[in-house]
Structure 1
Amino acid sequence: MTNNRHNGIFYGVDGWTVLLYVLIVAAGWISITSASYDDSAADLLSFSHFYMKQLMWIGMAWVTAIIVLLLDERFYHMFAYPAYLGGIALLVAALLFGREVNGAKAWFEFGSLRVQPVEFAKIATALALARVMSEYSFSINRAGDLMKVAVVICIPLFIIILQNDTGSGIVLGSFLFVLYREGLNKWLCIPVLLIAALFIVSFLLSPMTLLVALILVCTLSEAMMNGQWRSRLVFLAAVMLSAILLCLVMALIAPGTLDLYHSLLTTTLAAVVFAAVYAYRSNLANIFITLGLFVGSLVFLPTTDYIFNSILKQHQRDRILSFLGIISDPLGTDYNVNQAKIAIGSGNFWGKGFLEGTQIKYGFVPEKHTDFIFCTVGEEWGFLGSVVVLTLLCLLILRLMRMGERQQEPFGRIYCYCVAAILLFHVLVNVGMTIGLMPVMGIPLPFMSYGGSSLIAFTILLFIAVRLDASTRQFSVHKL
């Protein structure tokens, strides 16, 4: 006989996850209250204040969470594709008819209410990705199936970039972590990471320095794949030959008549042909992988200028150059980050106390209740409070990963890891940009930054995972 309590909506729900959620949301509301509190206001309980509006959004988020728990877990699997198509439609509609805010045409405005569709598109993309990858015949290392995954991720990514909301689009890159968890070959992950790394270092290093760096990196990677010293020496000899040929060419050609990088590319490709032929005759297959990465890197590097100058907007270029230390603009591009670091640093260990943060209170930190909400935590709660908040967020992410591991169906496991990846990326970037370790991207701190779209979307994202996990736990109990 089944106990009646098994029919309750909270039966099987992971209580620790819900508790962590409540604590983080409460910490966020306290921070928003401190960041937007004005003791000179006539009516402190008016909904014109950000903290009162956020309180309303919190109530709506909790109602939404209950609705998510009431729905059958099969609903999310069944409507994953329709939700994805709906998310794409909303992104396109925002691109065509939306309101531009801070340079991004990514908002719908209904009177005083603003809605950002990209937050809900992340949920739809996570559901669609879980649906595609949980198909019976799916194989992560089959080219056709991997192409399906790429299409699911890249369509919303492309639209979001067109909206000039690059920061939100890059969040979808966190799904690479999910693909790796599901068995994607590590050598397919490396090119993606290599592209990001090359894009950054291309601004910092000269072409010759880049050549030397690529030689060392590729030689090391080949050595890790193949323990034979002969193959290592062959590859090293090939790339060294390319460097010698480069020096000879540049010595014979008058300075300025031929671009340095094109000389480097031509001579290096000649050396690569020699190394590839030798590797083929010697059955050293791993060298082909390394050579592929090496040549791909050389071919990609000239495109960084086009991406930087033609695709990125001026403020995005300034943020990247400022982050890399190439330019300095204390009263412009660097102002937000500098003030954020001052605010966090002034909190010391214990913090200044609730409503006592001077940097926050007197408006030195812009966007102090949204993207830079962590500054309020750092200044008023100090190092100790910051560690507590980050610990709660990390525990929530680890809890999601644990929930994913105990799923009996691939759909639930993949979705839980998608949620964990999105939250992890948001936390790393948001906190990183406030302390100067990441460029400013304008993405919120989950469950803490002010905003109804963000809070409700993150709540739906999280509680779908909670619902899927509750179904698994209920099934396990009934099975016993």
Structure 2
Amino acid sequence: MVKTKHLANQSVIANVDWLSIFLYAVLVIFGWMNIYSASLPLEPTSVFDFSQIFGKQLLFIGITIPVIIVILSLDAKVYEKYSIIYYFIGILLLMGLFVFGKTIKGQTNWYQFGGISMQPSEFAKIGTALFLSKYISENQTLYETLKEQAIPLGIILLPVAFIMLQPDTGSAMIFAVLFLVLYREGFPAWYLWTGFIAILLFILALTMQPVILIIFILLGCIIHYFYNKSIHRNPIVYVLLAVAMSAFVFSVDYVFENVLESHQKDRINVLLGGDDVNMKKEGYNLNQAMIAIGSGGWIGKGFLEGTQTKGGFVPEQHTDYIFTTVGEEWGFAGSLLVVACFITLVLRIVYLSEKQKNNFARIYGYCVAAILFMHFFVNVSMLIGIFPTIGVPLPFFSYGGSSLIAFTLLLFIFLKLDANKVNEW
């Protein structure tokens, strides 16, 4: 019996996906190199100077090593069995911010313990992914009724509600990608279409007259009604849909002016081609980021040779804007390599998810791939001007212990589940 168990454990270790680990290591190491370049002071100092940003990040990387060992050593069943506990720990940490949290730049989304900070929203994503996977895997339904849909939606929206109260729009937005997982598991497609249309109408309502937009909405509903040959089409449904969309369009201006914070409005205005005042105020970071990326050319200026980076023209370059260092010092070739590593890692996770024998592991794998892709897509999109600046870190790259450790946990829990599939029947 002992021998059989020993062989099973050996097979789990042997079946860890080393390609994913290799990609993880490449991203972490290359990320640290760029943090080093972006935060290197003028005075000579040691690589192990833990008072510097790059030294602290090196310490965080060191912490991930025992974290990975513990994750891979634990029984794979603990992640599924105690998923609800992980979820509610994340919720409690989010709630605790309103009592013990530290407010930075108008957002109460950090705990401060002496010189150590922790952002619980990063860890709440893991608990949400685990519990959502647990619930869906145990309750395989067709999700045809609102009652069947309510609990999975609630699992996602509960942490989002607390994060929005901080307020941290960027972190809350990441949770929206989990709707893709719900869709993959049988949720109605109209959830995705509703979200997509709402975003599109919001943007259009800010760029054109509401009356003109409503005319297009009415024409679209009429054309779709006559184009739809289904015998179940109902004109009342189309009328209600047109009324709802028109009401949404008229509400956009109120929401924009009275609900959004001033800095959020300015960032959207910058994205939509705002006036010179906004471009100088809120568009400075974006302009400098695009200049830095564009100045790298095809092969970059070389490691530690970035003039924009060394000049400090891009604020917070070691965090949300770390990709600008890649663009400037490593050029198009280096940027393409980073993009290729991220895309390959995400696709690898999806591929491994499809091979899982256990529904929990498969669904969790989709969650991991979706969260990593959303972070990567939004972060890079911010820097090239096709998405508002909302403060979303680049996984494994951006400076910060919370994000690095949380992304490491997120990924390696799945790799443990994947390695354990040899013991699943």
| Within-5 A mapping of 1:344-383 | 344-383=293-332
| Within-5 A mapping of 1:43-54 | 43-54=46-57
Question: 2:374 — aligned with what?
Answer: 425
User: Residues 397 and 291 from structure 1, CA distance in 2 versus in 1: closer, same or farther, beyond 3 angstroms?
Assistant: farther
Distance 1:289 1:463 in 2: 47
Question: 2:340 — aligned with what?
Answer: 391
Root mean square deviation of aligned Cα: 2.0
Cα-to-partner distance string for 1:360-395 (whole Å, 9 max, x where unaligned):
111001111000000000000000100000000001
Question: 2:284 — aligned with what?
Answer: 335
Q: Does 1:96 align with 2:44?
A: no
AA paired with 1:465?
Answer: F
User: Residues 350 and 150 from structure 1, CA distance in 2 versus in 1: closer, same or farther, beyond 3 angstroms?
Assistant: same
AA paired with 2:381?
Answer: G
Q: Does 1:323 align with 2:323?
A: no
Question: 1:248 — aligned with what?
Answer: none
Cα-to-partner distance string for 1:296-343 (whole Å, 9 max, x where unaligned):
211222332333233321111111111111333333100000000000
CA drift at 1:213: 2.5
Question: 1:301 — aligned with what?
Answer: 249
Segments ≥4 residues shifted beyond 6 Å:
none
Question: 1:411 — aligned with what?
Answer: 360
Q: Does 1:312 align with 2:260?
A: yes
Distance 2:247 2:400 in 1: 42
CA drift at 1:427: 0.8
Distance 1:187 1:163 in 2: 29
Cα-to-partner distance string for 1:184-208 (whole Å, 9 max, x where unaligned):
2222321122112212211111122
CA drift at 1:116: 0.4
CA drift at 1:5: 5.5
Secondary structure (helix, strand or coil) at the match of 1:330 reads helix
Match among 181, 186, 205 for residue 183 of structure 1: 186
Cα-to-partner distance string for 1:409-433 (whole Å, 9 max, x where unaligned):
2211111111111111111110011
AA paired with 1:212?
Answer: I
Return the index of the structure with the highest Cα Rg: 1
| Within-5 A mapping of 1:213-292 | 213-219=216-222, 221-222=224-225, 226-227=228-229, 283-285=231-233, 290-292=238-240
Asked if the contact 1:5–1:11 (Cα under 8 Å) also holds between the matched residues in 2, the reply is no
Asked if the contact 2:8–2:423 (Cα under 8 Å) also holds between the matched residues in 1, the reply is no
Cα-to-partner distance string for 1:252-311 (whole Å, 9 max, x where unaligned):
xxxxxxxxxxxxxxxxxxxxxxxxxxxxxxx44265554443232112223323332333
CA drift at 1:44: 4.9
User: Residues 184 and 361 from structure 1, CA distance in 2 versus in 1: closer, same or farther, beyond 3 angstroms?
Assistant: same
Asked if the contact 2:206–2:253 (Cα under 8 Å) also holds between the matched residues in 1, the reply is no
| Within-5 A mapping of 1:13-52 | 13-52=16-55
User: Residues 195 and 18 from structure 1, CA distance in 2 versus in 1: closer, same or farther, beyond 3 angstroms?
Assistant: same
CA drift at 1:223: 6.3
AA paired with 1:67?
Answer: V
Asked if the contact 2:47–2:54 (Cα under 8 Å) also holds between the matched residues in 1, the reply is no
Asked if the contact 1:191–1:293 (Cα under 8 Å) also holds between the matched residues in 2, the reply is no
Secondary structure (helix, strand or coil) at the match of 1:93 reads helix
User: Residues 290 and 398 from structure 1, CA distance in 2 versus in 1: closer, same or farther, beyond 3 angstroms?
Assistant: farther
CA drift at 1:405: 0.8
Distance 1:211 1:436 in 2: 28
Secondary structure (helix, strand or coil) at the match of 2:280 reads coil
Q: What is the count of residue pairs matched by the alignment?
A: 421
Asked if the contact 2:111–2:117 (Cα under 8 Å) also holds between the matched residues in 1, the reply is yes
Distance 1:69 1:44 in 2: 29
User: Residues 57 and 203 from structure 1, CA distance in 2 versus in 1: closer, same or farther, beyond 3 angstroms?
Assistant: same
Match among 154, 172, 176 for residue 175 of structure 2: 172
Secondary structure (helix, strand or coil) at the match of 1:146 reads helix
Structure 1 stretch displaced more, 416-425 or 211-220: 211-220
Asked if the contact 2:60–2:401 (Cα under 8 Å) also holds between the matched residues in 1, the reply is yes
Asked if the contact 1:133–1:140 (Cα under 8 Å) also holds between the matched residues in 2, the reply is no
Asked if the contact 2:319–2:393 (Cα under 8 Å) also holds between the matched residues in 1, the reply is yes
Distance 1:151 1:392 in 2: 33
TM-score of the two chains, using structure 2 as the length reference: 0.94
User: Residues 447 and 207 from structure 1, CA distance in 2 versus in 1: closer, same or farther, beyond 3 angstroms?
Assistant: same
Secondary structure (helix, strand or coil) at the match of 2:208 reads coil
Cα-to-partner distance string for 1:218-239 (whole Å, 9 max, x where unaligned):
3565567x247xxxxxxxxxxx
Identity of aligned residues (%): 42
User: Residues 206 and 451 from structure 1, CA distance in 2 versus in 1: closer, same or farther, beyond 3 angstroms?
Assistant: same
Distance 2:215 2:342 in 1: 40
Asked if the contact 1:77–1:131 (Cα under 8 Å) also holds between the matched residues in 2, the reply is yes
